[in-house]
Amino acid sequence: MNILSTSRIADADKLKKEIDAYRPLPANALKQLQEYYRIGLTYTSNALEGNTLTETETKIVLEDGLTIGGKSLRDHLEAIGHSNAYTFMLQIAGKDTVTESDILNLHKLFYYTIDPTNGGIYRQKKVFLSGTDLVFPDPGKVPGLMKDFCDALPAMDKQHHPIEYAALAHIQFVTIHPFIDGNGRTARLLMNLILLQHGFTIAIIPPVLRRDYLVSLQHSNHGDNTPFINLLSHVVYEGEKDYLRMLKE
């Protein structure tokens, strides 16, 4: 099955109903699931951007506070920063909306360990992405574009299915590319925040889907958002299957 040409939104909705039947979860079970996804999302989101820590190494860094021999300081800092941003994402998942301040804090918590000067600060320089013909907005336009983007989120929420809304928010955010670095990881945190706010599970894009992920975003760069929405629907559906497996066990 081509995940870029088929949608699994209807299937994801069915599994969500099954998951809802288990809610509210016992506090201990919820905590275990949140920690499971902390490792999984941190590992995969960083790996998509070239971080070399394995999932096991990510777990050791975050849970044991140990360093991994032969791995760079930046790899370790990215894991710690993403974990901190993940905690904040969980804290605000009960809100009905996403604000500009939320997005700035997500980036700040991820990036301040790497570069405190630019954490949660809109970029002051032009940025370029290798392997793409996409031209990002000039730095001077970023604050206005981000305000317009955040102001439009409530309407997007009302007009689209939550999976579509989360996908479109990701797409529009990375098109603005508001930060000097860390845009992809912030976009995936934002995407997951929206999914959590609507009762869906964490969407983990594994490194094996990196090519499909990038190809779908290239389609979006040329005005076709359907492949990325389809990709996210498959990722959500597979994540829900895994979530249900753990609940049943």
Listed in sequence order, the residues at least 6 apart from 40 whose beta carbon sits closer than 8 Å to its beta carbon are 55, 202, 204
DSSP structural state of residue 200:
P
Tell me: the pLDDT tens digits for 7-20? 999 999 999 999 99
Superfamily of domain 9-248: Fido-like domain (1.10.3290.10)
CA distances from 235 to 3, 4, 44, 111, 205 (A): 9, 11, 12, 26, 6
Alpha-carbon distance of 202 to 188, in angstroms, equals 10
Q: How far is CA 40 from the centre of its chain?
A: 12
HSE-up of residue 217 (Cα within 13 Å, Cβ side) = 21
pLDDT at 131: 65
**Where in the sequence numbering do the catalytic residues fall?**
177
CA angle 85/51/30 to nearest 5° reads 40
Question: What is the per-residue pLDDT across 84-137, written as a single tens digit (0 to 9) for each?
Answer: 999 999 999 999 999 999 999 999 999 999 999 999 999 999 998 776 667 899
CA 219 – CA 110 distance, rounded (Å) = 28
At how many degrees (to 10) do helices 27-47 and 73-92 cross?
140
pLDDT digits (tens, 9 = 90+) for 41-60: 999 999 999 999 999 999 99
CA-CA-CA-CA torsion sign (84, 90, 94, 98): positive
Task: Give, for 207, the enclosing helix (H) or strand (E).
Answer: none
Rounded to two decimals, what is the model's pTM? 0.97
Residue boundaries of the structural domains of the chain: 9-248
Taking residues 173-197, what's their average pLDDT? 98
Q: Dump the DSSP string for 74-139.
A: HHHHHHHHHHHHHHHHHHHTTSSS--HHHHHHHHHHHHTTT-TTTTT---SS----TT----PPPG
Q: Please compute the mean of the pLDDT values over residues 203-223 and round it to a whole number.
A: 95
> Distance (Å, rounded) from C-alpha 146 to C-alpha 167?
17
